[in-house]
Amino acid sequence: MALAVLPAALLTLVCAAGAAPAATTPRGPAPVRAEARADVRADVRADALRGALAGAAHARGPGSAPPARPGAAPRPRTFDTAPARASLERLLPRHAGQFTLVPDTGAARDTFTVSGTAGAITVRGSTGATLLTGVGWYLQHVAGADIGWPGESIGMLPATLPAVPAPVTRGALVPHRYALNDTDDGYSGPYRSFEEHQRQIDLLALHGINEVFVQVGAEYPYYRALQDFGYSAAELRAWIPGPGHQSWWLLQNLSSFGGPVSERLMRERADLGGRIADQLRALGMTPVLPGYFGTVPPEFAARNPGSATVPQGDWAGFDRPDWLDPASPVFARLAAAYYAEQRAVFGDSTMYRMSPLHEGGQTGGVDVRTAAGAVQKALHAAHPGALWAVLGWQDDPTAELLAGVDTSKLLILDGLSDRYNRLDREARWGGAPYAMGTIYNFGGHTTIGANTSVWIERFGPWRAKSNSALTGIAYLPEATGTNPAAFDLFTDLAWEPGPVDQRAWFADFAARRYGRPDPAAAAAWEELRKGPYSTSSGLWSESQDSLFTARPSLTAVGAAYWSPKSMRYPADAVRRALDHLLRVDPALRASSAYRFDLVDTARQALANHSRTLLPQIRAAYEAKDLARFRQLTAAWREGERRLDAVTGADPNFLFGNWTKAARSWGSDEAERDRYEYDARSILSVWGRRSTSEGGFLHDYANREWNGLIKELYAERWALYFASLDEALVRGTTPRAIDWHAFEEEWARRTTRHPTRATGDPHALAAAVAAFLTPATGSGATGARVAGGGAVGR
């Protein structure tokens, strides 16, 4: 009976247990699932059988009951609250004992109830993650404290937590609350520890997320499976890029760069990814795993008779990996092998991420409708009924792809919901289910801002349409860990029963962000609300980046090629917010939330100032006014120095932690250097010269971090200004500078930088405010320079 329900592809594997095709080279043992790590697994195919049986049962999470029939009442269900309790103790170590967490077997799914007296708060919920969402609601609406991403004010909580005035029940408005862009691992930290990922999961659960993309270790199933299709281990290790660039390899955009990777690294990353997936399941959340849609190494068709591959051409100067035609018989076998290897390490899931033909992939005559159907068929052979999550980006998903699949088993993660106007997602995607998403951060830029008013204006009406296909939210910044207010507000959309009042929401956020209401904090966040957090849709979903981080040019208008070219809000909004934050009650300044916000606002005020100062430097140069040119470039250097100093006062802005993490994964000096280059290059050159220059990828992931500012950006501008100064003195044309060579040399360095914050953030931010001219009613700010006066208006 058990074998009768197995998918055909896995039934073949099961019946041939022990008789799988021989690998080209012997393989070491795979990492083992958490529940079996204490034992030595005899055979990965035996684990495939266990996973297939679990897949046939829809791969439900621990303790959950089978899904009810349509129209049937929800079945009672229980679950172990220990994982949620452990998360709570990590989040609230001094107050966790005042919470009682109760599985609510009668509640609708994704529902919590909060009640209780002082010091005895009870949270009932339908999953472990929903229990934590209830705790998050209590902190936000009753206790008045914030655990943000990043920064928190839980140190301001009283010893005895306040009572809940009356029991409150909340249910999620949409079933899908998805988090993490395909690029998050590369831009947020490809070399993070399990503890860092665990913290991220805790925060996502606290804010109501229930589906999380798990990318760490995704290379390992490819590495294992492809050894049965004509490739040696060494060939595959050279084909797989370094962890910092693997996000784009999984999107079929590139290969090899930043490698080769060692088998030890892949095994350790796979083990880490398995632990992340297990942690999500333990909380009743869905680990969203990468699916297989046809990416193969070079010469696949030559090594596998009967297969057909399509060259994918160029992506930003990289040669894309080939695409195996999903309609070819070899595809089904390779997909089955891939999913079996993935199951062995990551277990099963009910949701898989795939975006075939992402950003300009070539169809090569392949029928996309048929191909899409074959991709979904292979997914369902391994995981019956699993949901295919596809990114809504540029022209994807196309009508041809949607026509080939069962769209009831598809979820479109709309990355453009808040970027453009006149959007009709139901018409565009033929009624296929979608999640309203936001990408307010590109490349990990440290810029403040998001189109929050657009979220509020669209979420309710889009959901209320008579033909609405909106079934979720998708939190998709290219890097996480910036803009905590945006994270809080966007995730609140899925849980607030009525329309969100943006002004009231930011006022409440200001009150809880530092532990209690404060007039100066309220005024600061009102300025930020009206400025960088109220940018409009039409062209952009992200605010402008800094010119301090741009490749030097007197005509520079942005650092990243695809970023906004000018200010998207009045610069004085941030300048005034800085003044207000500096006046926050000293009793509220001890929290990490206040420190982060103060440093971030001072940083943004300086970044905005760069857009005022550079045109003046250009004017002085073109007027051949050497004295004025030197005065202004000195002010520029002073701005960079202050920028590096103030960002050194908060651990979230330390470049030293980025490189330290990369080196920690190497087993010898050569491997440590290789991984540091992987981590440095993604922030600077991004790729080789053809991609950095021809593909315009240099500085795509620019960010204002302590150490990075001083060692890369300031050195780059100093070299440039010196060439202009020399040209003015000699009356000649400035000498040409090979910027890629300069940046590549920097990326190859192994210099060390601070890994601990230093300096008084309030004193350093006050010095920034003193450096800048006072805020006015509108326009940009300037900086005071030697000799009196100010640069700017």
Query: Got the DSSP string for 413-443?
Result: EETTTTTSSS--HHHHTTT--EEEEE---ST
Residues 6, 14: contact at Cβ < 8 Å? Answer: yes
Residues 239, 261: contact at Cβ < 8 Å? Answer: no
Environment class of 755 (CB within 10 Å of its CB; exposed 0-12, middle 13-18, buried 19+) = middle
Structure tokens at 222: 């490819």
Specify the pLDDT at position 775.
Answer: 64
How far apart, in whole angstroms, are the C-alpha atoms of residue 765 and residue 645?
9
Name the 3-class secondary structure at 100: strand
Name the 3-class secondary structure at 137: helix
Strands 387-392 and 410-414: parallel
Specify the pLDDT at position 54.
Answer: 35
How many of the other CB atoms lie within 10 Å of CB of 754? 15
Residues 698, 440: contact at Cβ < 8 Å? Answer: no
Name the 3-class secondary structure at 259: coil
How far apart, in whole angstroms, are the C-alpha atoms of residue 654 and residue 757?
7
Sign for the pseudo-dihedral over CA of 507, 510, 515, 521: negative
Q: List the one residue out of 325, 444, 450 whose CA is nearest residue 378.
A: 325
Structure tokens at 711: 């060692």
How many of the other CB atoms lie within 10 Å of CB of 511? 18
Specify the pLDDT at position 27.
Answer: 52
Specify the pLDDT at position 106.
Answer: 87
Q: List the one residue out of 372, 449, 367 whose CA is nearest residue 406.
A: 372
Environment class of 506 (CB within 10 Å of its CB; exposed 0-12, middle 13-18, buried 19+) = buried
| Degrees, nearest 5: CA angle 704-565-773 | 60
Rg (CA), the chain: 27
Query: Got the DSSP string for 521-553?
Result: HHHHHHHHHHTGGG--SSS-SS----STTSPS-
Quote the crossing angle between the two packed helices 502-513 and 452-464, to the nearest 10°: 120
Q: Which residues of the chain have pLDDT under 70?
A: 1-77, 775-793
Name the 3-class secondary structure at 296: strand
Structure tokens at 315: 């992506």
β-partners of residue 112 are: 125, 170
Sign for the pseudo-dihedral over CA of 490, 467, 174, 389: negative
Q: List the one residue out of 595, 577, 604 whose CA is nearest residue 151.
A: 595
| Degrees, nearest 5: CA angle 613-614-620 | 95
Q: List the one residue out of 522, 513, 651, 652 whose CA is nearest residue 591.
A: 513
Specify the pLDDT at position 228.
Answer: 98
Structure tokens at 602: 């001072």
Specify the pLDDT at position 581.
Answer: 98
Structure tokens at 380: 């369902």
pLDDT tens digits, 752-772: 999 999 999 999 999 999 999
CA distances from 280 to 3, 55, 285, 489 (A): 29, 17, 5, 23
In the numeric block, the tokens 């999961």 are attached to: 201
How far apart, in whole angstroms, are the C-alpha atoms of residue 153 and residue 585?
14
